[in-house]
Structure 1
Amino acid sequence: MAQLTDILNFRQVNDRLTLSGQPSEDQIAALAEAGVTDIINLGPHDNKGALVDEPGSVASAGMAYHYIPVDFDAPSEQDYIAFTNTMAALGDARVHVHCIYNARVSAFMLRYAREGRGDVPAAEALMEGIWRPGGVWAVFLGHEGDIDQPNRYLGYDY
């Protein structure tokens, strides 16, 4: 059986929330075995590395699938509102949120924490352990000093 920690950029936020890059078919099954009831995918289905039929794979594993495709080049307030509404509707469910690399997700989680829904220093550290957003993502996060910077990724750019 696949280990959750083998999922690209896997992070456990608390007992009910985990985050990552794109899980494989086996890793989706492992998430279900770990008690996850809902998957939120912020990565568009046509992204390189996305599963052929993730909604079907998640349903086959007995979990609910929530799809909020966020264009990496144009994250929007509507995307973020859809995410916060989905998180609120799921209440105390065990949720796994992913995209392709855990960049979109970690940025969304930082905003989520800043709005009183999490630990801000922990969310900042989580994102810093994956990437440092520039450009449109710096705008999305209100990081004025990084707007003219490119996106930088741990292990590549810093």
Structure 2
Amino acid sequence: MTDLPHILNWRRITPRITTSGQPSARELAEIRALGVTHIINLGIHNTEGALPDEAGTVADLGMTYVHIPVDFVAPTDQDFEDFAAALAALPDTKIHVHCIYNARVSAFFYRHAQDDARAAAFDTMDSIWRPGDDWADFIGDPKAKGQPNRYAGDDY
């Protein structure tokens, strides 16, 4: 098994990095079975749909948990720097990055993408959502100013 498309908004970014919306405890075990050793969560713990003790669940599965809580309506440059540092610290590690819907995560990977990978990162983000006003500066998209967040399959 190399992918888990039944997990909400599952995407494979590279052979060692996958992303999704919030996985359940059972789905975290499936992710572990893929060889993932680190979980990075950009979601907020008290958000509807978040696991009550994700850090404990991840630890019980023998994985390392990194939490970078990103306020959905106010992502910051510091959030991005923390995310980039977490990725840089794990260059040869299988990582799964998630939030509640894979909106935050896909925007972070879009911003993180280098020139040659930018179009693919945009396509991944666009297959999940089109960030609006709160995210316009964060992703460097002035056209998103004044626009609502829109979600693939619902708004376009």
Same fold by TM-score, threshold 0.5 exceeded?
A: yes
2:57 aligned partner: 57
Shift of 1:139: 1.5
1:84 aligned partner: 84
Unaligned runs of 5+ in 1: none
Percent identity between the aligned chains?
53
Give the counterpart letter for 2:49 in structure 1. Answer: G
| Structure 2: distance between partners of 1:7 and 1:139 | 29
After superposition, residues 76-155 of structure 1 pair within 5 angstroms as 76-114=76-114, 119-155=117-153
Residue deviations 1:24-55, cap 9 Å, x none? 01000001111001000000101110001000
| Structure 2: distance between partners of 1:13 and 1:86 | 16
Residue deviations 1:38-89, cap 9 Å, x none? 0000001011100010000101111000000000010000100000001001
Give the counterpart letter for 1:147 in structure 2. Answer: K
Give the counterpart letter for 2:71 in structure 1. Answer: D
1:32 aligned partner: 32
Unaligned runs of 5+ in 2: none
Residue deviations 1:108-136, cap 9 Å, x none? 0001004x5x7111101000100000112
Give the counterpart letter for 1:153 in structure 2. Answer: Y
| Structure 2: distance between partners of 1:122 and 1:75 | 22
- Compute the TM-score of the two structures, normalised by the length of structure 1: 0.94
| Structure 2: distance between partners of 1:21 and 1:139 | 23
Misfit runs of 4+, over 2 Å: none
Secondary structure of 2:46's counterpart equals coil
| Structure 1: distance between partners of 2:7 and 2:45 | 18
- Compute the TM-score of the two structures, normalised by the length of structure 2: 0.96
| Structure 1: distance between partners of 2:111 and 2:96 | 17
| Structure 2: distance between partners of 1:44 and 1:145 | 27
Size of the aligned set, in residue pairs, is 154
